[in-house]
Amino acid sequence: MSNILIIDDEHSILETLEMFVSEKGHTVHTADSGQKGLDQYDRCDPDVVILDIRLPDVSGFELLCDIQRRENPAKVIMITAFQDMETTIKAMKLGAYDYIHKPLDADKVEKAVNRALQTLKVDRETPLLDELTQPPNPEVIIGKSDQMRKIFKMIGLLSQHKAPVLIQGQTGTGKELTARVIHRNSLFGKEPFITFDCSAVVDSLLESELFGHEKGAFTGATHLKEGKIQLASNGTLFLDEVGELPLSVQSKFLGFLQRHEYMRVGGNQALRSRCRIIAATNRNLADMVRKGTFRQDLYFRLKVVSITIPPLGERLSDIPDLVNHFLQKINWEQGTDIAKLQKGVLDRLKAHTWPGNVRELENVLVEAVVRSRGKAILADDIEDILLSSLPVEDEALGAYSLPRMEKDHIQNTLNLLKWNRSETARVLGITLPTLRSKIKKYGIHP
**Measured between alpha carbons, how far is residue 197 from residues 67, 129, 240, 280, 312 in Å?**
50, 36, 5, 10, 23
Nearest by Cα to 186 from 213, 154, 209, 217: 154
More reliable by pLDDT, 61 or 84 = 61
- 319 with 205, same domain: the answer is no
- 265 with 291, same domain: the answer is yes
pLDDT at 131 over 70: no
What pLDDT, on the 0 to 100 scale, is given for residue 299?
Answer: 96
Residue type, 241: E
- 157 with 264, same domain: the answer is yes
- 174 with 296, same domain: the answer is yes
Q: What 3-state DSSP class applies to 389?
A: coil
What pLDDT, on the 0 to 100 scale, is given for residue 343?
Answer: 87
- 284 with 221, same domain: the answer is yes
pLDDT at 24 over 80: yes
Question: Which tens digit of pLDDT belongs to each residue from 231-247?
Answer: 999 999 999 999 999 99
Distance, CA of 274 to CA of 16 (rounded, Å): 78
- 322 with 404, same domain: the answer is no
- 160 with 305, same domain: the answer is yes
Question: Which tens digit of pLDDT belongs to each residue from 262-290?
Answer: 999 888 889 999 999 999 999 999 999 99
Distance, CA of 229 to CA of 258 (rounded, Å): 14
Strands 271-272 and 261-262 turn out to be antiparallel
Tell whether 68 is covered by a domain: yes
Per the DSSP assignment, residues forming a β-bridge with 31 are 7
Distance, CA of 30 to CA of 21 (rounded, Å): 11
pLDDT at 8 over 50: yes
More reliable by pLDDT, 145 or 412 = 145
Going by pLDDT thresholds of 50, 70 and 90, the confidence category of residue 387 is: confident
How far separated are the first and last CA of the chain, in Å rounded? 45
Distance, CA of 321 to CA of 107 (rounded, Å): 39
What is the domain extent for residue 216? Answer: 146-309
What pLDDT, on the 0 to 100 scale, is given for residue 397?
Answer: 38
Q: For residue 331, count other CB atoms closer than 10 A to its CB.
A: 17
Question: Which tens digit of pLDDT belongs to each residue from 186-215?
Answer: 999 999 999 999 988 888 788 899 998 888
Tell whether 341 is covered by a domain: yes
> Up-side HSE of residue 217: CA atoms within 13 Å toward CB?
19
Q: Which of 289, 309, 329 is the last residue of a domain?
A: 309
Going by pLDDT thresholds of 50, 70 and 90, the confidence category of residue 390 is: low
Q: What angle do CA 118, 435, 345 make, to 5 degrees?
A: 35
- In 218-318, alpha helices (H): 228-232, 247-259, 285-291, 296-302
Using CA atoms of 19, 23, 26, 30 in order, give the dihedral in degrees to the nearest 10.
Answer: 0
Instruction: Give the sign of the dihedral formed by CA 104, CA 105, CA 111, CA 114.
Output: positive
Distance, CA of 347 to CA of 330 (rounded, Å): 21
Q: For residue 258, count other CB atoms closer than 10 A to its CB.
A: 11
What pLDDT, on the 0 to 100 scale, is given for residue 437?
Answer: 78
DSSP 313: G
Q: Read out DSSP for 97-141?
A: SEEEESSPPHHHHHHHHHHHHHHHHHHHHSPP-PPP-SPPPSS--
- 70 with 213, same domain: the answer is no
What pLDDT, on the 0 to 100 scale, is given for residue 233?
Answer: 92
Per the DSSP assignment, residues forming a β-bridge with 395 are none
Per the DSSP assignment, residues forming a β-bridge with 101 are 80
Distance, CA of 122 to CA of 300 (rounded, Å): 54
Q: What 3-state DSSP class applies to 260?
A: coil
Beta carbons within 8 Å of 7's beta carbon, 6+ residues apart: 30, 31, 32, 33, 34, 36, 37, 40, 49, 50, 51, 52, 55, 60, 63
CATH of the domain at 65: 3.40.50.2300
Q: Which segments within 257-365 are labelled E, that is strand?
A: 261-262, 271-272, 276-281, 305-308, 340-341
Question: Which tens digit of pLDDT belongs to each residue from 301-313?
Answer: 999 999 999 999 9
- 100 with 152, same domain: the answer is no
What pLDDT, on the 0 to 100 scale, is given for residue 424?
Answer: 86
Distance, CA of 88 to CA of 82 (rounded, Å): 9
More reliable by pLDDT, 220 or 142 = 142
pLDDT at 227 over 70: yes
Going by pLDDT thresholds of 50, 70 and 90, the confidence category of residue 340 is: confident
Mean pLDDT over all residues of the chain? 89
Tell whether 135 is covered by a domain: no
Backbone angles phi, psi at 227, to 5 degrees: -85, 175
CATH of the domain at 374: 1.10.8.60
Report the percentage of the chain scoring pLDDT > 90: 58
- 375 with 343, same domain: the answer is yes
More reliable by pLDDT, 96 or 445 = 96
Nearest by Cα to 257 from 242, 271, 277, 280: 277
More reliable by pLDDT, 123 or 263 = 263
Per the DSSP assignment, residues forming a β-bridge with 166 are 279, 306
Q: pTM for the whole thing?
A: 0.78
Going by pLDDT thresholds of 50, 70 and 90, the confidence category of residue 395 is: very low
Q: Which of 125, 160, 188 is the last residue of a domain?
A: 125
pLDDT at 391 over 70: no
Tell whether 133 is covered by a domain: no
Q: Which of 351, 369, 388 is the last residue of a domain?
A: 388
Going by pLDDT thresholds of 50, 70 and 90, the confidence category of residue 77 is: very high
Highest mean pLDDT among 4-8, 400-404, 434-438: 4-8
CATH of the domain at 410: 1.10.10.60
Tell whether 141 is covered by a domain: no
Tell whether 432 is covered by a domain: yes
Tell whether 426 is covered by a domain: yes
Q: What is the largest CA-CA distance in the chain?
A: 89
What pLDDT, on the 0 to 100 scale, is given for residue 176?
Answer: 96
CATH of the domain at 229: 3.40.50.300
Q: For residue 323, count other CB atoms closer than 10 A to its CB.
A: 22
Tell whether 137 is covered by a domain: no
Distance, CA of 36 to CA of 27 (rounded, Å): 17
- 191 with 301, same domain: the answer is yes
Distance, CA of 261 to CA of 256 (rounded, Å): 5
Q: Into how many domains does the chain fold?
A: 4
- 233 with 273, same domain: the answer is yes
